[in-house]
Amino acid sequence: MPQLHHRACHLCEAICGIVIETEEDRILSIRGDKEDPLSQGHICPKAVALQDLHADPDRLRKPVKRVGEGWEEISWEEALALTAAGIKRVQDANGNNAVAVFQGNPTVHNHGLILYAQYFVRALHTKMRFSSTSVDQLPHQLVAMQVFGHQLMMPVPDVDRSRFLLIIGGNPAASMGSLMTAPGIRRRLAAIQERGGSVIVVDPRRTETADLADAHLFIRPGTDALLLAAMVTTLFETDAVVTDRLSPLLSGVEAIREGLASFTPEAVAPITGISAAQIRDLTRQLAAVDGGSVYGRMGVSTQPFGGLCQWLITVLNVLTGNLDRPGGAMFATPAVDVVKGVGGISRPGRYGRWRSRVRGLPEFDGELPAAVLAEEILTEGEGQIRALVTSASNPVLSVPNGTQLDTALAGLDFMVSVDFYINETTRHAHVILPPTSPLERDHYDLVFNLLAVRNTAKYSPALFQPAPDAKHDWQIMLELEKRLTRGVKSRAMQTARQWVKPAGIIDYALRTGPYGGGIKALSGLSLATLKANPSGVDLGPLKPVFPERLFTKDGRIHLAPELLLADLPRLSARLVEGVDDGLLLIGRRHLRSNNSWMHNAERLVRGKPRCTLLVHPQDAERIGLVSGELARVRSRVGELLAPVVISDEVMPGVVSLPHGWGHGRAGVRMSVASAHAGVSANDLTDELRVDPLCGTAAVNGVPVEVAPA
Ligand SMILES: Nc1nc2c(c(=O)[nH]1)N[C@H]1C(S)=C(S)[C@@H](COP(=O)(O)OP(=O)(O)OC[C@H]3O[C@@H](n4cnc5c(=O)[nH]c(N)nc54)[C@H](O)[C@@H]3O)O[C@H]1N2
Ligand SMILES: Nc1nc2c(c(=O)[nH]1)N[C@H]1C(S)=C(S)[C@@H](COP(=O)(O)OP(=O)(O)OC[C@H]3O[C@@H](n4cnc5c(=O)[nH]c(N)nc54)[C@H](O)[C@@H]3O)O[C@H]1N2
Ligand code: SF4
Ligand SMILES: [Mo]
């Protein structure tokens, strides 16, 4: 008998509701769930590829250890013991900081892993912690911490009630939205237009989102902070600052006016490539609207002024009266309130308590920037990293100067990876610990309900029974933690966590959260309520949350933090620098590609190869490039060959190559068709290009030279 399972897709931030039809251990179909209150039936081709992931013969089902050039399957007992011994050996010989850990993106889509990995990481007692945060949303978190007192207080555009959306450096039509959980974003953007509003995109590429927008403006990569500063200046100049009900909560408005005064539209126009008249017009539209916002993502986060960009976006939303009001930039109130703290994962955030040994970049919330990982392994001396734990990550393809990291990993004394593939990174491990397949575990989205455009809650039970000797990520983390800790108190805590399981923590958090009725109550939200409503529970549109959810010590919005004001001279220096005529490399995401993996799912990647270099016709002609032929692309750190696609969808002076490809490295055990192997953009991105404020990798806007191959 076929069975229907309701689930939230965990492959991207949109958390779409899906219905999976199975018969015994086979998947018959995967469809969008029309009853899901958030996604209302939306689905994309990645969700359909979940079945390929589940059935994938490349996916490891048993732990393996490296033997010479090959791999040998071993028991969990042996694998866990080898791992603990490898870690302890390095700790004893070189100290705790010689063992580093790197946690990747799928962690945030896996509630068991988030909840349980933190204890394992703590048990390592290391300051050498890394994650994909610093090649992604770190500037958003830094600004949230500085302005609102908590790193997770990241506003999202209230798209469903908005009348104006300025999208800068994001391409939700392909990425399906990021730090804005809004499944079916195309429909939601169209609805803004239907209610008489407008969508404007600022991007060096005319993206899939730009094609849906009312207007698109090209901007020279890395100059957005100048544009945003000039927009703020224009608000003051035209007396358009409105702070409404937030006024009594605000501090720093005068400091902003003074600090930004020199960034006039006329001053920034020649550098950004957007005219002063266009800047004034854009500002006028934003100021005039009754409920709209500015939204910025990867393109304005992973660049040298990422911190300033995210700050100025928040400043614009506040000074136009659009923060924390319907239609503007709002905050979700999730059923599991990760901001208030769940199972210890929420900290307001700390910054700069220590710095990286080699380059002196600051920690954020206990983590160092991913851009320094390789040099911390390669540079000899006290504190050198000698062992690495990676989980749910593929940093060789995901962090800048992947070639350097590749070399560094090959020289480690010990490496273990928690992952189900032998990929570009894990091929260097001595032991690989593969977790269960996503469909063999339950799911509750801890992170993305916090960033959603509507409050909803949903619990997805596992579809398939795991094999008796399989382990979930959380169980692997718990087993490793046990082997690294001593003492009665830790033992008791570990036993408790083993017994309650992630679902038990979620149940407790639901009951004690904003919609719960208490620990023992029969009414209010609990795991039982969610199990009874498999498509999810609707908790209504976003609500204003200030002043209750302001976490600064004085309960105010710190609109002009010292740290960000102090970064403005660097932006002034950029004004003086002007522009040169070299080519700048930016990234690109495609609906049929998922970061650095799933490229072996033929159903997903089918079609023309997508790892291509986009070049503007003028540049192609000047350089002598021909569409379909290979170009040699060179940066300070490396070079590669990529097939050229000539297109005016990129602006002159800009070339675009997606990241996450480059599966041709020796020893990778994923059946990626050669047409889809591609090359790694991060063999060109430069680990020395960071936003010095927080160390976020500037993977966009990388200077490159391009020539016919
Ligand atoms: N040049 C450039 N570089 C970039 C970006 C860019 O735009 N341009 N984007 C950056 C961004 S935003 C991000 S988030 C990073 C992403 O980079 P990473 O953090 O490296 O994440 P993924 O590429 O998604 O890596 C996924 C790995 O996790 C494994 N995995 C998947 N699911 C699970 C699971 O449930 N458990 C475990 N244990 N493992 C799992 C997969 O097998 C794969 O090896 O890349 C960054 N790098
Ligand atoms: N299909 C698919 N979906 C995904 C992913 C995926 O790999 N595939 N990855 C997921 C992850 S981990 C993330 S973080 C999100 C990312 O979600 P998004 O940020 O929406 O995705 P990107 O495509 O990286 O969009 C970045 C945009 O910034 C532009 N850009 C580059 N440099 C600059 C600049 O200097 N200024 C401006 N204004 N724009 C610039 C690029 O042209 C691009 O259009 O997507 C998620 N969703
Ligand atoms: S948009 Fe994201 S969450 Fe929705 S089906 Fe596609 S991958 Fe899954
Ligand atoms: Mo990301």
**Cα-to-centroid distance, 537 and ligand 4 (Å):** 27
3-state secondary structure (DSSP) of residue 584: strand
pLDDT for residue 342: 78
Q: What SS3 class is residue 205?
A: strand
Q: What distance in Å separates the CA atoms of residue 555 and residue 535, rounded to the nearest whole number?
A: 38
Q: Whose CA is closest to 511, among 354, 335, 630? A: 335
**CB under 6 Å to ligand 1: residues?**
104-106, 110, 132, 135-136, 298, 391-395, 398, 418-421, 423, 435, 438, 473, 587, 595-597, 659-660, 681-682, 685, 699
pLDDT tens digit string along 566-615? Answer: 999 999 999 999 898 899 999 999 999 999 999 999 999 999 999 999 99
What is the identity of the amino acid at 589?
R
Q: 189: part of which helix (H) or strand (E)?
A: helix 185-194
Going by C-alpha positions, the residue among 600, 584, 583 that lies closest to residue 592 is 600
Residue 645: what are its φ and ψ, rounded to 5°? -125, 120
Reference 691, options 103, 140, 128, 102; nearest CA is: 140
What string of DSSP letters covers 28-41?
EEEEE-TT-TTTTT
Long-range contacts of 602-606 (CB under 8 A, 24+ apart): 602/52, 602/673, 603/45, 603/48, 603/49, 603/52, 604/45, 604/46, 604/48, 604/49, 604/52, 605/673, 605/676
Q: Which residues line ligand 2 (CB under 6 A)?
A: 12-13, 105, 136, 168-172, 174-176, 178, 202-205, 207, 219, 221-222, 224, 297-300, 303, 586-587, 589, 591, 593-595, 700-701
Instruction: Assign domain 60-126+386-445+466-486 to a CATH class.
Output: alpha beta
Go through 411-430 and write b for each residue having 16 or more CB atoms within 10 A of its CB, e for each that does not. ebbbbbbbbbbbbbbbbbbb
Instruction: Please identify, by atom number, the ligand 1 atom nearest to the C-alpha of residue 438.
Output: 35
The Cα 249–Cα 325 span in angstroms is 14
Cα-Cα-Cα-Cα dihedral sign, residues 572, 577, 581, 586:
negative
Nearest CA to ligand 1 atom 32: 106
Question: What is the Cα–Cα distance from 325 to 95, expressed in whole angstroms?
Answer: 51
Asked if residues 421 and 663 have their Cβ atoms less than 8 Å apart, the reply is no
Amino acid at 674: S
Tokens 């007992």 sit on residue:
77
**Structure confidence at residue 346 (pLDDT):** 73
In CATH, what is the architecture of 580-708? Answer: Beta Barrel (2.40)
Q: Is 519 helix (H, G, I), strand (E, B) or coil?
A: coil
User: So what CATH class is 139-331?
Assistant: alpha beta
Place of tokens 């260097």: 428
C-alpha 507 to ligand 4 mean position (Å): 28
Asked if residues 364 and 141 have their Cβ atoms less than 8 Å apart, the reply is yes
Q: Are 397 and 660 in contact (CB under 8 A)?
A: yes
The whole-model pTM stands at 0.98
Q: Give residue ranges with CB within 6 A of ligand 3.
A: 9, 11-12, 14-16, 43-44, 46-47, 176, 183
Closest listed ligand to the CA of 46 = 3
Q: What is the pLDDT, as a whole number, of residue 244?
A: 85
Question: Average pLDDT per run of 10 along the chain, which is 709 residues long?
Answer: 96 98 95 98 97 95 96 98 98 98 98 97 98 98 98 98 98 98 98 98 98 98 98 98 94 98 98 98 96 98 98 98 98 95 80 97 98 98 97 98 98 98 98 98 98 98 96 98 94 96 96 92 92 98 97 97 98 93 97 97 94 98 97 98 98 98 95 94 98 98 98
Nearest of 175, 196, 153 to residue 297 by alpha carbon: 175
Tokens of 506: 């979620």
Q: Phi and psi (nearest 5°) for 298?
A: -45, -45
The pair phi, psi for residue 640, each rounded to 5°, is: -155, 170
8 Å CB contact between 331 and 542: yes
Q: Please tell me the number of Cα atoms within 13 Å of 230 on its side-chain side.
A: 25
* Structure-block tokens of residue 445: 């989205």
Which sign does the torsion angle of CA 20, 21, 22, 26 carry? negative
CA of 588 to the centre of ligand 2 (A): 6
pLDDT at 523: 86
The C-alpha atoms of residue 270 and residue 43 are separated, in whole angstroms, by 42
Q: Are 150 and 122 in contact, with CB atoms under 8 Å apart?
A: no
**Whether the Cβ atoms of residue 383 and residue 418 lie closer than 8 Å to each other:** no
Q: CB of 200 within 8 A of CB of 187?
A: no
- For residue 168, give the ligand 2 atom closest to its CA: 38
- Please tell me the class of the 3-48 domain: alpha beta
Structure tokens at 182: 């809004």
Ligand 3 atom at shortest distance from the alpha carbon of 32: 5
In degrees, to the nearest 5, what angle opens at C-alpha 29 toward C-alphas 58 and 41?
Answer: 115
Say if residues 466 and 472 touch (Cβ distance below 8 Å): yes
Predicted confidence at residue 519, as pLDDT, reads 86
Nearest-CA residue for atom 26 of ligand 1: 393
Q: Where are the domains of the chain?
A: 3-48, 60-126+386-445+466-486, 139-331, 580-708
